[in-house]
Structure 1
């Protein structure tokens, strides 16, 4: 069979990406619970194998890991709800602090501009009326979101059970899809995908725990109100790469502003968050998750925003593992290898415009770039030497 011209192949790839995005956008309510269940079933797979090795019935070997996961999630929700209740109990003081800060802002605006207090009050009243006018739509949308969330939570355990029950059937389907001479690569992709997903998601659970303890504990020692709530919110939002940390900082500042009339606690919160983030990004998380697959920051941020626009919050949470899995597949495919290069972190120090060998896709150049970017493990570097 005659090979298609390069321009035709690239056009088909781009059309395929557009169709995949459209499919995810249209069917995200169906696809996202399935993807979430797929990732979680891989995380629960070691426990399932352990129970099966101890001669547990298959039904119990699947059900027990799901129940343990449900208990863990219920514990997180209970802890978060308890912190929200403490915040609600302080509402009168919060209202007083908010009024204090609003008055200070109003005085500053009066001193710096011609916008009088009367005009400011009129502006706030107009905005409040608009907010009340749209309240019905907001409540309706929130009710719809809550309903979707409950459906999502209800479907995920069912899908996990089915994935673990029919894993051998699904594996056989994947192998039959490819020619026998491709089975070795398919097996490598599946093994590496399992390792990446397990290390990433288990690493995230550990990350939530130590960020909550570190950030919440330090703020608690420094006598910052709602310290544990700030720690939990930041830990959960930090699961959304890059964007979550920024939102977490803003919410931390807002919670501190509502609980204090002084500015020092705000700088304290920002300083502690910066220290915890530094420890997390440079010391703790790299050691926990490891460096199995490196995704460049541009691809990661773009992936988060695209996944968020197509599939909402759940898409943002799953963006990085999805990109990592795609990179594993692309790297082992001759057709899609350029896309693996685009997603990767093997950034050449020299320009491909001046060094022709960097324009080629070769294993030797790939190894050199991995060593150059500190991606290849030390023992492999020594072997290469």
Structure 2
């Protein structure tokens, strides 16, 4: 007979387990972050590698797949670097305009809120130090740059090479009666991650084109660079969209007089966000797992707290995998429903009261 522990025992044990897990994730950040990215890349490249294996040896197929991915990344990096070079063409004029804007803002703050210039400088320095701390957390450790140059490609190659060994481990570590459920979880996880990543890449490309076209029409300097950055920031649910709007508004404020361009930028980005949220995401980002907005925001912030900026991008695929597992295990299905985006029309308390009322009516009759 299965022994059930009371809630006051299970709750502290679960909380302790979560604390230990978060501590381990934080301590091993420099090792686990490149491993997590490599796992996503390996899952993304797996269909191409499998197709090449029909005619080529496995190792050669993996190498060709990685080389194709590397060429795509190099091409994007070259495009962005050329746009960044144009950004510095008019840097002197922008610096002069920014200095004037900063002086006017300081005078307005001092007049309106009574905050002196020295206090404002101190607040800016504190904000800059906090930003440096966040950046330092993201790039900390001797493995920071090494992970991008060396560890991620090596991890990706080895994960694809030992794919069968890893899958067999998951099958063998569980009992025979659970192997079918394990297979379903692995297949659904792979399909969900692949569709999620491919959909995000297509969505990001379309949003980048729409952002850039809108900014070019409005005459904003460095429109293509800012549009692409905005599309990349849009990968962060809800939070990235706000930051993406702030960048072109700041550039327009530095470059133009008045506020007409800024208002047009906000209107254009609001329209793009509407198209993205109501057309692109439902149609293109065809992930089988839908995470609700509340969980998305919380998990992104938690990912940032534990792993910095990489954690913000890895948090959504991670929680999507957890939801797939929760949905397949009877004891964890309530947690899967909590993470999901399906909103029930009535809560269980109302249903129970209705059933009790109907039962009482039947008894009375």
Q: Secondary structure at 2:56's aligned position in 1?
A: coil
For 1:169 and 1:103, the matched residues in 2 are separated by: 63
Q: How does 1:158-173 map to 2 (within 5 A)?
A: 158-173=154-169
Does 2:346 correspond to 1:335? no
Summarize the alignment of residues 217-256 of structure 1 with structure 2, pairs less than 5 Å apart.
Answer: 217-256=213-252
Cα 1:358/1:42, change in 2 over 3 Å: farther
Contact preservation (8 Å) 1:101, 1:261: no
| Residue number in structure 2 paired with 1:155 | 151
Q: Which moved more, 1:173-182 or 1:125-134?
A: 125-134
Higher mean alpha-carbon deviation, 335-344 vs 177-186, is at: 335-344
1:255-334 equivalences under 5 Å are: 255-290=251-286, 292-334=288-330
Listed as ranges, the gaps of 5+ residues in structure 2 are 356-365
Question: 2:363 aligns to what?
Answer: none
Give CA-to-partner distance per residue, 1:297-336, whole Å, 9 cap, x none. Answer: 1111111111111111111101111111100001111232
Are the structure 2 counterparts of residues 29 and 109 from structure 1 closer, same or farther at C-alpha, using a change threshold of 3 Å? closer
Per the alignment, residue 42 of structure 2 pairs with 41
Note the C-alpha offset of 1:135.
Answer: 12
Is the counterpart of residue 27 in structure 1 residue 31 in structure 2? no
Q: 1:133 to 1:151 in 2, by over 3 A?
A: closer
Aligned pairs for 1:1-385 within 5 A? 2-7=2-7, 8-53=9-54, 55-106=55-106, 108-109=108-109, 112=112, 120-123=116-119, 144=140, 148-290=144-286, 292-356=288-352
Q: Quick check: 2:196–2:285 contact (8 Å CA) kept in 1?
A: yes
Change (3 A) 1:257 1:330: same
Per the TM alignment, residue 159 of structure 1 is displaced from its structure 2 partner at its CA by: 0.6
The 2-side partners of 1:179 and 1:145 are apart by: 40
How many angstroms apart in 2 are the aligned matches of 1:46 and 1:347?
34
On the 8 A contact 1:208/1:236 being kept in 2, the answer is: yes
* CA separation of 1:138 and 1:237: change in aligned 2, threshold 3 A: closer
Q: Is the 8 A contact 2:106 2:120 kept in 1?
A: no
**Change in 2 beyond 3 A, CA 1:302/1:134:** closer
List gaps (5 residues or longer) in structure 1: 360-385
Check conservation: 2:97, 2:255, Cα contact below 8 A.
yes
Residue 30 of structure 2 contacts residue 143 of structure 2 at CA under 8 Å; is this kept in 1?
no
Residue 2 of structure 1: how far off its partner (Å): 3.5
Q: How many angstroms apart in 1 are the aligned matches of 2:343 and 2:337?
A: 9
Alpha-carbon distance in structure 1 between the residues aligned to 2:317 and 2:34: 15
Give me the TM-score of the superposition, normalised by structure 2: 0.87
CA distance in 1, matches of 2:354, 2:311: 34
Mark the CA change 1:325 to 1:133 in structure 2 (over 3 Å): closer, same or farther. Answer: closer
Tell me how far apart the structure 2 counterparts of residues 18 and 243 of structure 1 sit (CA, whole Å): 26
Contact 2:34–2:147 (8 Å) recurs in 1? no
8 A contact 1:308–1:316 mirrored in 2: yes
What is the CA–CA distance in structure 1 between the aligned matches of 2:58 and 2:292, rounded to whole Å? 41
Q: How many residues align?
A: 354
Q: Which residue of 1 aligns with 2:360?
A: none
Query: Which residue is 1:374 aligned to?
Result: none
Q: Distance in 1 between matches of 2:183 and 2:354?
A: 29
1:190 Cα deviation (Å)? Answer: 0.7
Instruction: Give the Cα–Cα distance (whole angstroms) in 2 for the partners of residues 147 and 113 of structure 1.
Output: 45
Asked if structure 1 preserves the Cα contact closer than 8 Å seen for 2:253 and 2:262, the reply is yes
From the superposition, tell whether residues 279 and 82 of structure 1 become closer, same or farther in structure 2 (CA, over 3 Å).
same
Cα RMSD over matched residues? 3.0
Q: Name 1:365's counterpart in structure 2.
A: none
Q: 1:206 to 1:153 in 2, by over 3 A?
A: farther
**Aligned-partner SS, 2:348:** coil
